Amino acid sequence: MQTFIKPKHIDWIIKEPNVVFEDDIPIECYQITYDVKNDTILDEWATHIRRHYITDNDLAETIDKLGVEEKAYLKEYVIPQKEQDRGPTTISAEIAEILLYDLFEYILHATAFRGRHWDKATPTSMIQGTDVFAAKMKNKNMASPEDELCIIEVKATLTKDDYEILRDAKKHSDKDTFRYSISLDFLRKKYKDKHEELLMNLVERFQKKVNSQYIQTFIAAGVISRKDIENKKIIGIKGEDLKIGMQNQIFLIHGEKLMDLAYNIYGRITK
């Protein structure tokens, strides 16, 4: 079983209140403010990221059986590299997805369904389907119609500050209405193979909607490289156009030079 412990970089993700679209409809907004000189936190963040690609047990078993050097193995077989074809795109997309896991689990107090990136065919293979799931349970010991499954589509542009990524995220989130059940089944089978029984059982709870109702919340999330939201307003997009409602939400995470930050973190995994 792979244990994920709350990492210290979570303190760098700060909720930014009162941010609105240009028609004053609110958006859930978070800013990343980081210290590139804090090697302790960045090294821990790198280990946290690595565990989303290969578990501690699987990595130890591989190193023992093959007799290879850990960093070299990770670089060649597991972790996307910026020098590879599609490497930058993969790094951008996947660190953004992992940021959403962290946001929902450690800040919004949900249970994130991590593990989607385990055992990829190649480091730059893209996983199809719903990007992120997180569950908010009314009672951990029994199903309740008040349980909530957050179904999250993530789009990232870590080299740009363009708000238009939110439209793209919402467009793809609308597709999750039809495909999220397939992605849940993909995760259930992955947890079964990894002997992650607690997560497997939790996924099964949300596969049984006919017998046990729950709340579905579809979330579109954008991650962009922008230091500040000027006047706390998303200019150029109206919330009304995105059809935001109680079960249809928009999130934005932003920070300065996020692609440089991503390269820094991924580089620490393999060097």
Closest CA to 28 of 249, 237, 258: 249
**More confident call, 8 vs 247:** 8
The 10s digit of each residue's pLDDT in 222-239 is 999 999 999 999 999 999
- Per cent of the chain over pLDDT 90 is 90
Greater confidence (120 vs 210) lies with: 120
- Look at residue 246 in the predicted model and tell me its pLDDT: 73
pLDDT interval class at 175 (50, 70, 90): confident
pLDDT band at residue 153 using 50, 70 and 90 as cut-offs: very high
Reported confidence tier of residue 184, pLDDT bands at 50, 70, 90: very high
47-81 pLDDT tens trace: 999 999 999 999 999 999 999 999 999 999 999 99
Q: Which amino acid is at 238?
A: K
Q: Which two tokens stand for residue 239?
A: 């919330």
DSSP code of 257? T
Residues 38, 33: Cα–Cα separation, whole Å: 12
190 pLDDT more than 70? yes
Q: Is 174 left (phi over 0), alpha (psi -120 to 50) or beta?
A: alpha
Question: Can you give the residue ranges of every domain in the chain?
Answer: 15-270
Give the closest residue to 60 by CA, choosing from 51, 166, 5. Answer: 51
Average pLDDT over residues 196-214: 89
Section 124-131 average pLDDT? 95
Identify each DSSP E strand in the chain by its residue range: 13-15, 20-21, 28-32, 111-112, 132-136, 148-157, 215-224, 233-234, 248-255
Looking at the chain, the whole-number percentage of residues with pLDDT higher than 70 is: 100
Residue 152, classed as helix, strand or coil, is strand
pLDDT of 177:
83
pLDDT value of residue 181: 93
pLDDT at residue 210, rounded to an integer: 67
Token pair in block for residue 217: 């919340």
Alpha-carbon Rg for the chain in angstroms: 18
Mean pLDDT, residues 117-135 taken together? 96
Q: How confident is the model over 252-270, as a mean pLDDT?
A: 98
Whole-structure pTM value? 0.96
pLDDT of amino acid 176: 85
Rounded distance, CA 134 to CA 195, Å? 19
- The pLDDT value recorded for residue 120 is 96
Question: Helix or strand or coil: residue 190?
Answer: helix
Residue scoring higher pLDDT (179 or 83): 83
Q: What was the pLDDT predicted at 209?
A: 73
The region that residue 55 occupies, defined by phi over 0 for left and psi between -120 and 50 for alpha, beta otherwise, is: beta
Mean pLDDT of 139-161: 94
Confidence tier at 249 by pLDDT (50, 70, 90): very high
**pLDDT of res. 81:** 97
pLDDT over 90 at 200, yes or no: yes
* 13-15 and 28-32 beta bridge pairing: antiparallel
